[in-house]
Amino acid sequence: MREREALAFFDAAGNLLGVKSRAQVHRDGDWHWLVFVWAARVDEAGRIQVLLQVRSRPGDPYLGSIDAPAGGHVLAAESHLQGAQREFAEEVGIELAEEDLVYLGEGKLENPTGVCQRVIEHFYLCKKPVLLEEARYSEEAGGFVEVELEGFLGLAEGTQKNVKGLGRLAGQREAREVELTPQALAAYQEGMREDFRRGLRAIRSTLR
């Protein structure tokens, strides 16, 4: 059961304090690790395309929102790199080697009204090209979308009203044209939207 999973918890400076169950960490508002894995590739025209997931887990407060293709809690027995590999395999269906991942850095986020009230986030980029048709649906990812990075960054920054790309939802055999609007990110608090902007800029810097 997920709530019984053991998570490490930390002080505000990132020093390890101990291990508790996920339910206890959430109840006590402890600092704990999350990991997010972006995936991007450079297409034949030299444009950076980013792969995104459509959140679909029942009960998810961000149900239907667009997110990085994989992300979640890092277990107490894992490094954040190992957590990134596990989450990508679980949510995208693709096993990654260490050399497939580039560390983009970390950040801290407080959300007093959320389930995860205090998190230290670790961000990775999967530099191995992952095509839209290769991504596998899961309970958490009920679809995937691929859009040009610059357009999606404009959407996240509020300078662009929409961005078009290709998407595959559960039950669809072929990719179809999709259009993302600010509604795709509207459920997130501002700190989370800033994570998107920072992550996309880091991807652009890394791939260029």
The pLDDT score that the predictor gives to residue 166 is 96
Which residue carries 């053991």 as its tokens? 6
The pLDDT score that the predictor gives to residue 1 is 62
Cα Rg of the chain (Å, integer)? 17
153: left (phi over 0), alpha (psi -120 to 50) or beta: alpha
171 residue type, one letter:
G
Closest CA to 201 of 35, 69, 40, 45: 40
pTM of the model: 0.94
Please answer whether residues 35 and 107 qualify as being in contact, where contact means their C-beta atoms are separated by less than 8 angstroms. no
Closest CA to 140 of 64, 82, 81, 192: 64
CA separation, residue 47 to residues 8, 55, 143, 146 (Å) = 39, 25, 22, 12
Per the structure, how many domains does the chain have? 1
What phi and psi values does residue 179 have, to the nearest 5 degrees? Answer: -130, 125
The span from the CA of 124 to the CA of 118, in Å, is 20
100: its two tokens: 């497939």
Could you list the residue range(s) of the whole structural domain that residue 163 is in?
2-207
* pLDDT tens, residue by residue, 114-129: 899 999 999 999 999 9
Torsion of CA 98, 198, 111, 123, to 10 degrees: 0
177: its two tokens: 């044209």
CATH number, residue 93: 3.90.79.10
Low-confidence ranges of the chain (pLDDT < 70): 1
The pLDDT score that the predictor gives to residue 159 is 95
* pLDDT tens, residue by residue, 69-97: 999 999 999 999 999 999 999 999 999 99
The pLDDT score that the predictor gives to residue 18 is 98
What phi and psi values does residue 199 have, to the nearest 5 degrees? Answer: -65, -45
The pLDDT score that the predictor gives to residue 114 is 86
The pLDDT score that the predictor gives to residue 171 is 76
The span from the CA of 147 to the CA of 94, in Å, is 20
